[in-house]
Amino acid sequence: MNQDLIYAPMGAMALLTFSVLLLVPIARFRAVFAARVAPDDFKLGESPSVPAAVSLPNRNYMNLLELPTLVFPVCLMFHLAHRVDGFVLGVSGLGLCRPARRSQPDTRRLQQCSAPPHRLHDEQRCAWRAVADVLPDRAI
């Protein structure tokens, strides 16, 4: 298996973190311009008068700063030890592979598998299950 595939979940986590980081000032500026809060409410973080809708992006961002500090070194250790397999990729991307349900499931990833699940090796079965988790509407 290509060991560099471990960088995909890491890159996705970094992209998600920076996306949420952009939401923090947007929510704060909107609240200040709508006169729901004063600029001084953000002087030392957030005051108790900040509405929940304004503080939620900041809390989400703080949570995203905790998880990558654990995931990134573990992913790098697997890459350096040349131990990246389907299971490791599935676990490393676990928090990223839960999209909202769609009315029409995306079956492109399913078409990449050339054999039915009962004829696959253990490593491939793990990858097949990861695809099944991503596409809950499709029976595999």
CB 82 within 8 A of CB 61: no
pLDDT at residue number 94: 73
pTM of the predicted model as reported, rounded to 2 decimal places:
0.59
Listed residue (44, 48, 46) closest to 57, CA to CA: 46
CB 78 within 8 A of CB 88: yes
pLDDT at residue number 140: 43
* pLDDT exceeds 60 at position 110: no
Instruction: Give the model confidence (pLDDT) of 13-56 as tens digits.
Output: 889 889 999 999 999 999 999 999 999 998 888 888 999 999 99
pLDDT at residue number 33: 95
